[in-house]
């Protein structure tokens, strides 16, 4: 039986929820992490190394010869249907909570790790100019950028740009021919007086040995369809995995949050209500609640909250 009373309940296991759950669990708090989707195994539940002719879903889903189930999916989620190469397990239609009616035109992914599974990995720092209108400075935030880069494993070149500061990088990926040609073109424009800069990729993908012991990238180019080798940082293969190792983090998967619970005073959150794949309703009590279930779903849950506060 899962523990039902926690210090903190985090809803959503994507980039924000995963790291929040890890940091809180590492600090010694008892944390519940609630995810509407299930846990996927890299290279098993999604295998991006299959040849194109082996993947039925690569067919254009709006084409005349598409199988019926692909045509249905194209109607149910137009935005996702554009990505015919995405494994079925990474599509919201493959889970047990499929909304009906008008379709939200955004990439909605329900699985442990959330949209970090299909994130390209780009990891750029904001620079001093970006912080000019903020009450904090780049210098104050820089140590945390370094901490994040060491944690994730970010590769890149030391470009020396004023407002795209260099980070603590792993060895860079050698530029491809078009990128090298673009770099030469930028250098010519700069020599002619143009204000323009060139920056190569900076991604949270391993190019060498890393303390996390994830495998280095072998450049298959499937970063946005789930990384079979876990070379790319995501919420599942780093913060959630490390959070579970603390013994303070409990996962609730295939648990769709359906309501926020309020205490007797009507002013404080006391927990959440969620529904299982079989339709069973359960509750999790907590002292604090972190909603990290994407911009759209987080806003929807808050709007559905019945508390006047």
DSSP string of the chain, one letter each residue: ----EEEEEEE--SHHHHHHHHHHHHTT--EEEE-SSB---BTTTB-TTS-GGG-GGGS-TTSTTS-HHHHHHHHH-HHHHT-TTS-GGGSGGGSS----SSPP-S----BTTGGGGG---B-PPP-TTTTTTSSS-HHHHHHHHHHHHHHHT-B------SSS----PBPPPPPPHHHHHHHHHHHHHHHTT---------BSB-SS--TT-PPPP---S-GGG--TT--B--TIIIIIHHHHHTT-EEEE-S-EEEEEEE-TTSSSEEEEEEE-TTS-EEEEEEEEEEE-S-HHHHHHHHHH-----
* pLDDT, tens digit, 9 for 90 and up, residues 75-116: 444 444 334 445 555 555 545 555 555 454 555 678 899 989
Q: Is residue 288 a part of any domain in this protein?
A: yes
Backbone angles phi, psi at 148, to 5 degrees: -65, -40
Q: Which of 12-16, 39-43, 75-79, 218-222 has the lowest mean pLDDT?
A: 75-79
Closest listed residue to residue 204, CA positions, set 178, 182, 237:
237
Q: Is residue 265 a part of any domain in this protein?
A: yes
As a whole number, mean pLDDT of residues 47-71 equals 56
Of 92 and 303, the one with more pLDDT: 303
127 with 102: CB under 8 angstroms? Answer: no
Of 48 and 13, the one with more pLDDT: 13
Q: Is residue 19 a part of any domain in this protein?
A: yes
Q: Is residue 212 a part of any domain in this protein?
A: no
Bridge pairing between strands 256-262 and 249-252: unpaired
Q: Is residue 251 a part of any domain in this protein?
A: yes
Q: Please, which residues have CB within 8 angstroms of residue 199's CB and are 6 or more apart in sequence?
A: 124, 157, 159, 161, 164
Q: Provide the pLDDT for residue 108.
A: 66
Closest listed residue to residue 81, CA positions, set 112, 58, 64:
58
Q: Provide the pLDDT for residue 52.
A: 64
Q: How many domains does the chain have?
A: 1
Q: Is residue 258 a part of any domain in this protein?
A: yes
117 with 40: CB under 8 angstroms? Answer: yes
Closest listed residue to residue 116, CA positions, set 9, 19, 202, 43:
19
Closest listed residue to residue 31, CA positions, set 50, 12, 44, 45:
12
Residue carrying the six token digits 């210098």: 139
* pLDDT, tens digit, 9 for 90 and up, residues 172-225: 999 889 999 999 999 999 999 999 989 888 999 999 999 999 999 999 888 887
Q: For residue 13, what is the domain's CATH number?
A: 3.50.50.60
- Residues paired with residue 291 on neighbouring β-strands, in sequence order: 11
Looking at the chain, the whole-number percentage of residues with pLDDT higher than 70 is: 80
Bridge pairing between strands 281-291 and 5-11: parallel
pTM: 0.83
The per-residue pLDDT of the chain, averaged, comes to 84
As a whole number, mean pLDDT of residues 240-252 equals 97
Q: Is residue 66 a part of any domain in this protein?
A: no
Residue carrying the six token digits 């808050």: 302
Q: Provide the pLDDT for residue 48.
A: 74
As a whole number, mean pLDDT of residues 244-273 equals 93
Q: Provide the pLDDT for residue 223.
A: 86
Containing structural domain, residue 256: 5-39+236-304
Bridge pairing between strands 249-252 and 31-34: parallel
Q: Is residue 185 a part of any domain in this protein?
A: no
């Amino acid at each position: 039986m899962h523990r039902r009373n926690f210090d903190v309940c985090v809803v959503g296991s994507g980039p924000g929820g995963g790291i929040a759950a890890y940091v809180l669990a590492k600090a010694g708090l008892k944390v519940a992490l609630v995810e509407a989707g299930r846990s996927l195994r890299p290279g098993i539940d999604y295998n991006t190394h299959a040849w194109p002719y082996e993947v039925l879903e690569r067919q254009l889903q709006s084409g005349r010869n598409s199988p019926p189930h692909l045509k249905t999916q194209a109607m149910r989620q137009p935005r996702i249907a554009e990505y015919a190469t995405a494994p079925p397990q990474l599509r919201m239609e493959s889970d047990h909570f499929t909304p009906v009616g008008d379709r939200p035109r955004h990439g909605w992914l329900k699985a442990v790790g959330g949209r970090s599974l299909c994130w390209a990995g780009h990891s750029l720092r904001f620079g001093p100019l970006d912080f000019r209108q903020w009450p904090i400075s780049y210098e104050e935030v820089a140590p945390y950028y370094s901490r994040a880069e060491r944690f994730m494993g970010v590769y890149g070149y030391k470009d020396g740009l004023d407002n795209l500061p260099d980070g603590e990088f792993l060895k860079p990926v050698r530029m491809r021919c078009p990128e090298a040609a673009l770099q030469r073109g930028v250098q010519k424009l700069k020599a002619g007086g143009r204000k323009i800069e060139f920056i190569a990729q900076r991604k949270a993908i391993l190019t060498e040995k890393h303390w996390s012991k994830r495998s280095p990238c072998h450049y298959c180019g499937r970063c946005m369809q789930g990384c079979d080798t876990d070379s790319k940082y995501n919420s599942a293969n780093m913060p959630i995995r490390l959070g579970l190792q603390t013994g303070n983090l409990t996962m609730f998967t295939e648990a769709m949050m359906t309501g926020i619970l309020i205490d007797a005073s009507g002013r404080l959150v006391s927990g959440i209500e969620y529904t299982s794949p079989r339709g069973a309703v359960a509750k999790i009590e907590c002292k604090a609640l972190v909603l990290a279930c994407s911009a759209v779903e987080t806003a929807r849950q808050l709007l559905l909250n019945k508390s006047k506060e």
